[in-house]
Structure formats: structure tokens, C-alpha cells
Chain A
Amino acid sequence: MHPDIDVVEADPEADRRLLEGLADWCDRYTPLVAIDGENGLFLDITGCAHLFGGEKALLADLMARFFHQGFDVRAGLASTPGAAWAAARFATGHILAPGSERNFLSRLPLSALRIDARTKASLESVGLRTVGAIMDGPRAPLVRRFGTELIERLDQALGRLEEAISPRLPVAPLSVERHLADPLSLIDDIERLIGLLAATLKVDLERREEGARALELLLFRVDGMVSRITVGASRPIREPTLVRRLFHERLATLGETIDAGYGFDLVRLSALSTARFDARQADLAGEVEDGGEELAIFADRIGARLGEAAVLEAVPVESHLPERAAPARPYAQEEARKGQVARPARAVQQAGRHPRQVDRPIRLFRQPEPIDVPATEVPDGPPLNFHWRRALHRVARAEGPERIAPEWWREDADAPTRDYYRIEDAEGRRYWLYRQGLYNAQAVPRWFLHGVFA
């Protein structure tokens, strides 16, 4: 081997990542980008070409940009994915006029049809070497001999059969973007631009009578790198100032991780999910009656900075397992408002469900903590003392047991029952602990500490 050749192991994972990065970058042309195999990308540019000055200009722009990024790209443009695939591989830079696929394909070899190697080899062995040769032949013997795939591919390439590409990302219902002649690199400038984009987005949202529940900011770097930044809102929003504030928090957290490099030349703001926006009448002083707006903004800002699970609310659930009875969920106001009508009934139910007699701890551990119980007075009684976090606690008093069985309608119905005890130790700390299972000949049940009382 030549001494100057640098040998690198094949790394399909890295290749895939690179291809995904390129697909991200191609988002600048169209939101519908699909990955094709190991080395191809499909771009559905229906309705996008005029934004770049026509198909020819788009293709030229794409190829020039890829060339400057250091990629050797083959591209073709046609009315069907199949024909475009063939054009990219056999006549790069070619733009097929609608209707000319038949003419174009008939001169090409069979590999232009995206068929597997075995079919191709057996076709060639009988002398069929070009697409034109099978295009005009009788279809029935071909199907009988080579299966439906061959004819399907042919029909797809010719546009007789509809073929849809599957885009790798869901298409945002609304998005606004701005191409910049002079790349941006300062965070402040980006924030200002977000405000401008959000103002444009607001018009569209207003027309649809909607607000955005999740927003995404795409920053296309000059050298092809794409950053995606997402923020969520606990109620539908569309005010540009609000959108800007949410992204301000998010960008403040990301800080250094966004590398502006030589700057961003395209910034896009999309509403990933939208919801009905209920306009509320402001009074004469300009104050809107319904409260909660401030709170929603507060929760969103914290969510944008620290992650969605930073602000939680407890949602009571009909379950008698303590950890399932009030799971903490990310705060969302939309659901709360939906449930408002039903709230009185729920509150009554709530009062009935947790009567004063049932004492529950004020703090509950996420995972019950295993404790070591050396001895109990009677096998099914409370412990005399226990080790928790390497400290010995002497039990002064105990109340219980309260037996809580697993819910039979769930998959863990066979789990052992739990006998809960309220324990007070010698210093006056009150704990909630339980024994999992019962004493029997086979095994000694384990003890857990599940909560702390006031």
C-alpha cells in the first residue's frame, strides 16, 4: 500500500450522523427532507422553488453551497422521486422537464431504476440492459418472472404511480424565516431577529385563531451547521415580546454551547404545535380579567431555562398506591382550564377520597428507601428498631398496619402486598415505612421507608 495513504476504519454511525447533519442543513430549502439509503437525500421542493428564483437557481445555489462546504454532490431535479434519483446519478445537474421522464429514462441502464442487484443481473442475463428495453415490453411476463417490484419502480419513476417521500421531521404548521446577506453572530442580534420573526408569525397565528404551544428556532450556520432550539409554553402564546423572552431564557442557558462560528445566514422560527387561542377582553384600565397569565409566563421561563420538568404540579389520580396517587407532572395551564368546569365535583371527590382519618406523609421519596430491620416483636408487627442511612433509629411508638395491595388491573398485580406503619422514633421523628410481603417459610420480607411525616 502507498505510504501516504491514510487508512481510516469505516464508521457507518458517523456517516449517518453526517448525512443527518446535511439533511438538517437542507431544511433551508424545504421542510420536507428525507434520507435515502446511505448516501442520498430527497428534497420535496414543491412550492419552494420560486423562493430561490426558480428550479434552476435553486439547484445551482444548492450545489454551489455544498461545493463550498467541501462536498462533491450529484443532484438531479425531476417531477418524480424515481426520475430525480436517476438524474442525480446519471446526469448530474440535469433538470427534467415534466413529461420528459420517459424519454430520459429509456436511454439509461437498469441500475437507474432502484432495483436490487439480483433482479438486475437476471434481467441483464436475458439481454435487457436499458430501461427502455423493459419500458415497452409486455408487463405480465415481467411481473411473473421478477415480481411486482420492478414494475412498481418503473411506474414510480414514470409518474404512473404516486410515490411519497417520508420526511424525517414533522412539518411545522407555521414557520417564518429570514435569509441574511450579512451573517449574524451576536446573541443580542439573534434575539432581536426573533422578535421580528415572531411579529410575522403572530399575523399568521391570528388568522388561524391559534397560539403556539411549542416553538422552534433553527439557526443555519454559514458552514452548514444547524442548531435547533425549542421552547414550550404552558398556554398558547403569540405575542412577539413573550416569544422573545422565552428564547432569551433558553439562549441564556445554552450560552456557550451555541457556537456562532462565522455567523448564521438563515434564521427560521417555526410553531411546532399550535392550539386554540382564546382572546380575552381587557377592561378599561387595560388589565385582562383572567389571572394566571403571569404565572404561565413565569412557568414557561423557568421551563425554558431549566428544562420542562422544572415546574411541576401534583395531579390527583384515582389510585390507592401512594406513589401513583399524586404524580408530579410538568405544569400546563391548558389542561387546568379545561378541567375547571369539573373542578367542584373533583374537589368534593377529593375530600371524600382523603378523609382526615387517613394520614399520609407530607413528603414522599421518589423511590422507597430500603431499610434494615433486625427484629420485630411479632412476625407481622412493626419493627423495634431499624437502620436507615447508616443510622440506627429506635422505634418508640407505631401505628398500623395499613395494608395496601397492588392494583389487580395493572400488570404488577402479583407484587407482594405492603403493610404500612406510622413510626415515631425516640427523638420524635415520624416516618412511614412498610414491609413488602408477609413472613413465610421461604423468604424474609424486606422493609422500606417511603415517606416522612410532619
Chain B
Amino acid sequence: MATSAVAQDVVFALRQKIAKIEGTLAERLVAPADGQPVAGLLVRRNGHASARDFFLPTGVERLDKVLGGGLPKAALTEIHGTETRNAGAAAGLALCLVSGMLKERSRRNDLVLWVGTTEMFREAGLPYAPGLASFFGMSAESLLLAEAPKASDVLWIAEEAARIEEIAAIVVELRGNPRIVDLTATRRLHRRAQDSGRPVFLLRQSAAPEPTAAPVRLVVSPAPANLRQTLLGPLAGSIAAPAFAVEIGKSRTALPGSFILEWNPDARTLAERNPENRVAVVSPSRGRTRPPAQAGAVLAFKPAAAETAGNKPSREQHPAHRRPRRTG
């Protein structure tokens, strides 16, 4: 044990030195600047861990880059909601991250534990399984709820749950700034998450930012959703997939930044909103070996003789449209 501690110390000192030479932060050295993990790079944590296990990529290129590769996986991550009525947005972002993580894992009986105070669940509602199924692809069996009247009990449950192998992720939800949730409490949670190698999300609804041991704190507020896309263009007055305004409140590696993220419930991915980043309205047709050629590229016949895609007679060929309708 002593030798490994010394070795760790040496590695740490070296890393600091390299960081100083390169003019960057030591944490950023884990992944190179372009955000792509290098093959064979090993991050040593408690003896065994690899680069792939170290990060929980959000899937948003710019956000991952700013965070230096993604959110730390075996760690406590704080997600702040600015007001209690924004609880849907904060819970939604946590679920996006959990759902994206569960998608990667193949184990069938992965559970997500959602712990909250009774007050929180009364004020903002209980997580609703059919909703989680329809938006985040999580089955009802994979959700475990725990409710406790006091914040101290909630923290106790979360700490105990971090040991359980079956629980893939823990979401702890608290409202306001209870005195018990201080640097020590968050540090305990963080250590438990580090030991178990699984993420713990601390949702803090309508809480003022406090000193925390969590490496990353995200501040979430709701953002207006896009319009639903149809074949005829956006449908006026409709509400498409969830969108969130995310700000990086605290991070050792990141500079402050704000993002508008959009969740794709079908692909279960997060993406940053920009005008070009549109979801395809119609899925690509199946059973076709090659994509149809671009229109205009292979025009060799007169339009009258050209066959349309569906092998139907075109409007001009269809005599019914031309003939005046008989009446009486």
C-alpha cells in the first residue's frame, strides 16, 4: 500500500509539472485537448480503471470538450435547478445522462435509485415510470424510489446504496439548503461514488450555490422546446423534445459556459441546439441497397415518360384529374 501511495504521489507531481510546462490544468492532461481519448491511455484509480471508465460523455461535442472529456463517471455531480418549479428540467437532465449511460450497458437488471425527501416529492411530484419509459426508454422495473422525511436520512440511503452492485446510478434530490448538506456530506458522497465507480447525481432544487466536493456543478433551467417537424415544415404551436439551458457552475477543468441542449428520445442522445441540427422527419427507407440518386443528376428522358418513385402514374398521366366531374 505504501509503495503505491508513493508512486501515486510521484505521478501526481509529474503531472503537475507537465501541466505547468504545457500551460494547462493537470486534470486536462487525462484526455488530450481535442477530447478524443487516446488508445492505451490508462487512468489509475484505486488500482484499476481505464480511460473509458473515467468519463461519462454527454454526447455534446462542445460541452465534452469544455469539461475535458465529459463528466467524471465515478464521482458526485451536482445539478442545480434554479427554482422548485424547474424541477422537471433538472430531473430531466439527470435522466438524460443516466439514460445515455444505461444505453451503453448491456446488463439487464441495472437499477436506478432515486432518493429524495418527502418534501421534495410533495413539491415537485414523484418520478413517473410511464413518463420515464416514453422519454428516456427506462423500464418501470429499473426504477427504485426511496423517500425519507429528513435530508440526513436521504444522504444515509444514498451512501448505503453506493455499495450495491445492482444500482447503476443514484439520483439524490434535495430542496433548498439543508444545513446537513455541507462540504463534508458531499465529500462523503463523492468518496462513495469514487469507490464504487458509479455516478451519483445530486439534484438540488432552488438551492443557493454552496461549497461542494463535487468536481462538476451544472446549473439547469428550462428552455423552450423546438417545434415538431413534419413533412411540410415545422408545426406551429407544437412542443417537440425536451430542451434545457445548461450552465457550468463549477468545474476544475472547464471555463464557465452555457449551452442549450436538446434530448432526442428516440436515439437517447443529447445534442446542442443549432438551426442545422434538425432531426430527420422521415426515416431512411429500408430494404434498399443504395440510396436513391440525387434529383437532376440522371435526367435523360422527358418528364412525361419518367417514372415516379412509388411506381404510380403521375398527376399528368392520371386522366381522372383532368376530366371534369360529372354532376347530376
Contacts and interface: CB of A to CB of B under 8 A. Distances in A.
Contacts of A315: 140
B216 to A, nearest CB: 20
B177 to A, nearest CB: 20
Nearest to B132: A362
A363 B166 contact: no
B146 A454 contact: no
Contacts of A360: 128, 130-131, 133-135
A429 B85 contact: yes
A391 interface: yes
Q: Main secondary structure on chain B at its contact with chain A?
A: mixed
A399 B241 CA distance: 13
B239 A397 contact: yes
Contacts of A363: 87-88, 91, 124-128, 131
B91 A362 contact: yes
A365 B123 CA distance: 8
Contacts of A18: none
A309 B224 contact: no
Nearest to B85: A429
Given A301-B160, A306-B148, A429 B91 contact: no
Interface string B161-175: 101111100000000
Nearest to A253: B153
Contacts of B91: 362-363, 454
Contacts of B153: 305-306
A53 to B, nearest CB: 47
B139 interface: yes
A405 to B, nearest CB: 18
Nearest to A297: B164
Interface residues of B, number: 61
A105 B242 CA distance: 85
A295 B225 contact: no
Q: Main secondary structure on chain A at its contact with chain B?
A: mixed
B102 to A, nearest CB: 15
Interface string A392-422: 0000111100000000000000000000001
A362 B127 contact: yes
Nearest to B90: A454
Contacts of B85: 388-389, 391, 429
Name the residue in B92, B221, B222 with the highest tally of chain A Cβ atoms < 10 Å from its Cβ.
Answer: B222
Contacts of B165: 291, 294
Interface string B239-251: 1001111000000
A189 B149 CA distance: 30
Interface stretch (A66-74, A256-264, A351-359): A351-359
A310 B130 contact: no
A453 B222 CA distance: 10
A454 B88 CA distance: 5
Contact of B143 (A298, A313, A336): A313
A233 to B, nearest CB: 16
B225 A430 contact: yes
Interface residues of A, number: 55
B119 interface: no
Contacts of A311: 144-146
Nearest to A325: B130
Name the residue in B91, B144, B167 with the highest tally of chain A Cβ atoms < 10 Å from its Cβ.
Answer: B144
A328 B145 contact: yes
A365 B245 CA distance: 24
Interface string B26-62: 0000000000000000000000000000000000000
B296 interface: no
Contacts of A391: 85
B241 to A, nearest CB: 9
A388 to B, nearest CB: 8
Given A360-B130, A452-B87, A295 B125 contact: no
19 contacts: A291-B109, A295-B111, A298-B161, A302-B146, A305-B153, A326-B130, A354-B133, A361-B128, A362-B95, A362-B128, A362-B136, A365-B126, A366-B125, A397-B237, A427-B221, A428-B89, A429-B86, A430-B88, A454-B242
Nearest 7 A-B pairs (CB), nearest first? A454-B92, A363-B125, A452-B88, A314-B129, A454-B242, A364-B128, A428-B222
Interface of A: 291-292, 294-295, 298, 301-302, 305-306, 309-316, 322, 325-326, 328, 331, 336, 343, 347, 350, 354-356, 358-366, 388-389, 391, 396-399, 422, 424, 427-430, 451-454
Given A302-B160, A360-B131, 13 more contacts: A295-B167, A312-B147, A314-B129, A331-B144, A359-B131, A360-B130, A362-B92, A363-B91, A363-B131, A399-B238, A428-B224, A430-B239, A453-B88
